[in-house]
């Protein structure tokens, strides 16, 4: 089977579902954000703060380029990876792109209490979630499989992904 690449907005379950998927398939899970943090020795929030989003996006593409050469892994991406067409093209070469979705209110509830999402560090995070989702919707739709995680446990969502991915091989 090709790589399984999870895309989706923050809080749609990429990391949690990625872990379940990797375990069920007996594969390694590679998280692009964690790889950037390891490689640069600095947290994503600090990259945004001290170097800005544009620098982060360049680091993200550099890491996508490297990770997309792997095979037989589950790849969890950062929520903004879809913004560059180049990233999706690289990830799709050897991967099935699975977009995870959830309603803004669910995303908001899942992320409440988290302080590691620099883009949501604003006065009205729910409004910001809605604004970003509206803008990004067409980018997220550029996927092979779309799964709504709002009403599913991670195990059910992972099972659905495995079944859909099997049909694509």
Annotated binding site: 11-16, 33, 57, 79, 117, 136
Among 80, 95, 104, 125, binds ligand S3P (CB under 6 A): 80
Assess contact for 99 and 149: CB atoms under 8 A: no
Among 1, 42, 51, 119, binds ligand S3P (CB under 6 A): 119
DSSP secondary structure string for all residues of the chain: --EEEEEESTTSSHHHHHHHHHHHHT--EEEHHHHHHHHHTS-HHHHHHHH-HHHHHHHHHHHHHHHTT--S-EEE--TTGGGSHHHHHHHHHTEEEEEEE--HHHHHHHHTT----GGG-SS-HHHHHHHHHHHHHHHHT-SSEEEE-TTS-HHHHHHHHHHHHHHH-
The least CB distance from residue 168 to ligand S3P, in Å, is 24
> Of 33 and 35, which CB lies nearer to ligand S3P in the complex structure?
33
Stretch that binds ligand S3P, among 75-83, 86-94, 123-131, 148-156 (CB under 6 A): 75-83
Residue 78 contacts ligand S3P per CB under 6 A: yes
> Of 5 and 10, which CB lies nearer to ligand S3P in the complex structure?
10
Stretch that binds ligand S3P, among 22-30, 85-93, 117-125, 161-169 (CB under 6 A): 117-125
> Of 10 and 64, which CB lies nearer to ligand S3P in the complex structure?
10
Among 84, 94, 118, 152, binds ligand S3P (CB under 6 A): 118
Assess contact for 101 and 12: CB atoms under 8 A: yes
Residue 10 contacts ligand S3P per CB under 6 A: yes
> Of 1 and 83, which CB lies nearer to ligand S3P in the complex structure?
83
Angle of CA points 109, 22, 18, to nearest 5°: 20
């Amino acid at each position: 089977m090709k790589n399984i690449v999870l895309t989706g907005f923050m809080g749609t379950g990429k990391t949690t579902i990625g872990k379940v998927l990797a375990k069920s398939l007996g594969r390694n899970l590679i998280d692009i954000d964690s790889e950037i943090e390891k490689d640069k020795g600095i947290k994503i929030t600090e990259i945004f703060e001290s170097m800005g989003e544009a620098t982060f996006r360049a680091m993200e593409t550099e890491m996508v380029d490297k990770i997309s050469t792997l095979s037989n892994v589950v790849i969890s991406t950062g929520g903004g990876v879809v913004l560059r067409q180049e990233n999706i093209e690289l990830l799709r070469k050897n991967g099935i792109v699975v977009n995870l979705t959830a309603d803004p209110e669910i995303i908001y509830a899942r992320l409440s209490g988290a302080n590691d999402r620099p883009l949501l560090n604003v006065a009205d995070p729910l409004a910001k979630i809605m604004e970003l989702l509206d803008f990004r919707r067409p980018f997220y739709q550029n996927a092979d499989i779309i799964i709504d995680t709002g009403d599913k446990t991670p195990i059910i969502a992972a099972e659905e992904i495995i079944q859909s991915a099997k049909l694509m091989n």
